[in-house]
Amino acid sequence: MRSWFVSLDGALVISGVALLSLLWRSLLDIRYVLTEDMPNAGKGIVAAWTLSIAALVGGWIWALLAGQAGARGGLIVLFALALITGLYGLASLLAFRPIMPSAKPMGEIALWSNLLTGVLATISVGFRLWGKA
């Protein structure tokens, strides 16, 4: 199992799962956080949120394809995006969970999955980049 975890295929699969976790979390945020917890969010906030998620997903897909082709730059971007996803999950669990109780229990599961998949993808891609894989 360890050899698959640090292989290129393992790093790409785990990073793809982290991407799906981020997409799930983003859809829940758009549905619940921006409509229920922030009812006064204007169109500008919603547009900025949507564009930032679209750019993040587009960059992630590019990095997955570049990583599959063997580009080290793609793996570095995957590492950074997985780290951001894990930190995003952690920050949300610490800062926003008590004051924004939207979408329970799906929101809780999405936050924990962001943290878990982000950390696992960061470790897997990090081993692929700098470890003895």
The pLDDT tens digits of the residues spanning 76-108 come to 999 999 999 999 888 888 876 655 566 677 878
pLDDT at residue 1, as a whole number:
63
Q: pTM of the entire structure?
A: 0.86
Residue 35 confidence (pLDDT) above 80: no
pLDDT recorded at residue 28: 83
- Domain span at residue 57? 2-130
Report the percent of the chain where pLDDT is more than 70.
89
> In the chain, how many domains are there?
1
* 86 in Cβ contact with 118 (< 8 Å): yes
Q: What is the pLDDT of residue 55?
A: 93
Which tokens in the block code for residue 17?
């799962």
Cβ neighbours of residue 36 closer than 8 Å, sequence gap 6 or more: 102
Which residue carries 């939207």 as its tokens? 102
Cα radius of gyration rounded to whole Å, the chain: 16
5-14, 15-24, 40-49, range with the lowest pLDDT: 40-49
> Which is more confidently placed, 117 or 104?
117
